[in-house]
Structure 1
Amino acid sequence: MSVLVTGGAGYIGSHTVHQLVEAGHNVIVVDNFYSGHRWAVHPQAKLIEADAGDRSKMAEVIKEYDIQSVIHFAAHMVVPESVSNPLKYYLNNVATSANLLAACVESGVDKFIFSSTAAVYGNPDSVLVSEDVPTAPINPYGTTKLITEWMLRDLVDSHKEKFRFVALRYFNVAGAKLDGKLGQATPNATHLIKVTCEAACGLRESVSIFGTDYPTTDGTCIRDYIHVDDLARAHLDALAYLERKGDSATFNCGYGNGFSVRAVLETVQKVSGVDFLICEEKRRAGDPVSLIANADRIRQVLGWQPKYNDLELICRSAYQWESQLSIHAKVAV
């Protein structure tokens, strides 16, 4: 089938596009290159430079390529920036999604997969966070994602059998293809493993730990890290589920393992052999103490079977990618 992927030149989007093409789908990528790269798009995918929030353009693309399924990645996703500039996030993440959904509904698209986030949970009381835990985001980024989930829910209620969706709530995504051909190249990245690998490669003078007084074993935040290719696979499983007429649903994407910030830094130091400088700073606004996924539902309902549930493997793949990223960046446009 023909699948429209918004933000398909970005980190997670490009990995998903590669898997979609390899699975035999006809893939149309829409990206405005805010943070994506042309070289990251699979050469067999059709690439259209446009804004996913351009309603008329999206309707035109959907019609021209007979699109019935959309995977929506295009969003801003830097938590501290969302705190300092919330309107930027509401305009892009919420308004863009609303315009894209309007184009989909008007054009008869009946399957939609949404890139959501564990940030919708805020600071949950549960050690393992299931999809049934109350949503209570503590930063604008998480709020904008939750609002889009609400829009999807309301569309299903109003369109009954004519529209179905899957929302995938990502935990912390990291790593790169094991063959070294694709990884994260987001400019000014803030993701911990990416930043730490940059420090190991000499691209940063140090790595900061934001907060060492959290109620955890070593005082630093705890997160569930998922390899990007396992996450990409979840999108293909979600697409197959919707093709089987599965009901609209929300799924956590994580492994159920929690690692502290210090543990991640130590792992990157181990795989890189570099003892980079670590600085301790005050807590950062919008950071929850701990986020660990209960991912039973996605395994049971979608049949998702992750292959790379190993922090050391994730960090090693990220470091290997970072160490030779300049080779890929030379062809970036």
Structure 2
Amino acid sequence: MSLYTAETRRLTKRRFTRFFALGTLLVLAAIVAGMFLSNHKASPERLAAAQAEAAQEYELAVRQTAKEKADCQAAQGTAAAQNFPPSCDDLYQPTREDFQASWYMPPTFTFREQFGYLVIALAALLAVMAFVIGATYVGAEWSSGGMMNLLLWRPQRLKVLGTKLGALLVSLTAFTVLVSAVWTGVFALTAHLRGTLAGMTSGAWQSMLLMELRGLVLVLVAGALGFGLASLGRHTATALGAAIGAIIVFQFGLGTVLSMAKVPYVEAYLVPVWVEAWMGKSSVATDWNSCDFSSTSGCEPATLTITWPMAGGLFAAVVVLVVGAAMWTIRSRDIT
């Protein structure tokens, strides 16, 4: 049996891997069920009911306004006049346009408008799963002594660690592609039954596919980072501690400090804006303490646009740094 095959089996047979992946799938299933049950088809019957409800609300508003105007006129010259405008004619008169039938329609799942957000949600959940599984996969090997025993059998350190990483990334790729395909199909069916697929041209489908590919890359980046951090610390807790520290220190502490110091483009120092730029192709950071004056729009805060190539370059640099450091340390440190 080859080393790669053995490592793939080791990864997929681990109970933690299976249970964590199953838990992630259950969360995704709950999202699917919630979206399916909370949306409804915009049928002619529902449209007629919404139009009737809008007309009823309009008539109710007209009667209420007429009553308020009568009360206003009756209150003139009394102490109660202060509860009304100086002129009773200033009371707002509702119009039919104020009550649109669309406001009374049940939510409808529009695939083209809403599926992009669901792709981001899928990528985020799978990225968390990949990070934790990647960290526990190699961290458990170090803490249990399994890595030392394996290196006695295969004393090629870089090859062993590289093969483990390769098995992890290939497995994550297969899992993510399969789940993404099911995710797309399920929500396409939801749109067919509980919404609409209108506007889904070949270009729109291509855009969704490219977003899912960027989601796959995000999952692989998360898995590689979890693997690399756990390998550096030779324990799962190293990666999980680094993740918790990054969330608490950089997302809350650093953001608060930079805001108090009035540093421009605070969002650009935080991870979410880079993930948003990667998944959505661009993201805008705003310097709320600046004034970009224009004769047409006046004083507007300056903005910084972060594009997906910029985000991709940052992710690549971080992965190379962390995984490269893990490879360097296993090559030079004692295996004990």
Q: Give 1 or 2: higher strand fraction.
A: 1
Please indicate the TM-score interval, normalised by the length of the shorter structure: under 0.3
Greater Rg by CA: 2
Under a length normalisation based on structure 2, what TM-score does the superposition of the two structures give?
A: 0.24
Q: Which has the higher helix share?
A: 2
| TM-score, L = length of structure 1 | 0.25
